[in-house]
Amino acid sequence: MEISEQDRSAAEERKEQSGFTFVVLPDDGKQFANFTHKDVQAKFFQWGLNDTNLSLVKYRFNQPFHLIGADNFLKDLFNDKTVLSTFNPVAYTLNCSSVKYKKLNAEVINLAWFDFLIEKGIVMDDYRIKADYDEYFEGIQLSDRLRKAMLWEESEYYCELQDDKIQNEFIYKLFQMVFIGGSMCQFDENLKEYLEVIKKLYKDLITVAKDPETGEIKVMSQVFLIEQIDGLDKLFPMPYHPQNWFFVIVDPIHWHCTFLYHKWTSFW
């Protein structure tokens, strides 16, 4: 007996109405191959990014994702028993009714995008980061022009980086997380050291494919910066710190969802 197109559509509709469910994907050493590479791990150690403050996990979900349904997707995500039992930062979430988030753009496919830092006089032509006198902000040592431009409002370059095209771009936020690092960060003086790592991490996190209409290679992933989860008292141990990050990256092609989470932990 053949199933009619109408019956198939009705079944699909019932499936979508039932909500999203999630299954954790065990790390087989391949899905985050760049994150776990020894060279990247050495840089993470140098920059104060380690297992105590940085978490990464991937889930598979059960039905098509549509951007228009992002609110319901995220609500289902943080009500899912598998997610709550396998991702400690959200383990104590109770009856999540809404999620506060910022939708980030993910349009960059070439690291030449970061050349604006040279054009704005923050980084030298040879990619050396211009040194500056020390300031401290929220426990973070600001010893160069770029760190001050990112975080210190009194910097003459601070406004240069507040453009929405910069602040709403995922790769910039990923770069900021890595560049500022943890409380035990031993930073590099050349931007290329960071961009080499960012290039590798970006490959692990986003999905690209050929646009069927234009034939161009485009990023297909949808990225959400999670700010607050209703039903969870504290998403981060030190709320409102500028080095708290929680990215949810949705791959609508393979029905995968990746969490990248960094919490600031004070050295003292």
Burial class (CB in 10 A: 0-12, 13-18, 19+), 44: buried
Mean per-residue pLDDT of the chain: 92
DSSP class of 38: H
* Rounded Cα–Cα distance for residues 70 and 252 (Å): 12
Q: Which pLDDT belongs to residue 234?
A: 94
* Tokens, residue 100: 């506060």
Spatial strand order of the sheet with 222-229 comes to 22-24, 54-61, 256-262, 245-251, 222-229, 99-104
Instruction: Determine the average pLDDT of the residues in 162-176.
Output: 97
pLDDT value at residue 204: 96
Instruction: Give the per-residue pLDDT at 48.
Output: 96
Distance, CA of 260 to CA of 246 (rounded, Å): 6
CB atoms under 10 Å from CB of 61, counted, come to: 21
What are the backbone dihedrals phi and psi of residue 52, each rounded to the nearest 5 degrees, phi first? -80, -20
The token duo for 9 is 């559509």
Torsion of CA 116, 118, 123, 124, to 10 degrees: 170
Confidence class of residue 4 from pLDDT cuts 50, 70 and 90?
low
Q: Any alpha helices (H) in the chain, and if so which ranges?
A: 5-17, 38-46, 70-77, 81-86, 116-119, 145-151, 164-167, 170-180, 191-205
Q: In this predicted model, what pLDDT tens digit does every residue of 18-74 receive, in sequence order?
A: 799 999 998 888 889 999 999 999 999 999 999 899 999 999 999 999 999 999 999
Task: Please write the tens of the pLDDT for every residue from 65-118.
Answer: 999 999 999 999 999 999 999 999 999 999 999 999 999 999 999 999 999 999
Which pLDDT score is estimated for 15? 45
Q: What is the pLDDT of residue 17?
A: 55
Cβ pair 74, 248 in contact under 8 A:
yes
Helix (H, G, I), strand (E, B) or coil at 140: strand
Contact between 43 and 197 (Cβ < 8 Å): yes
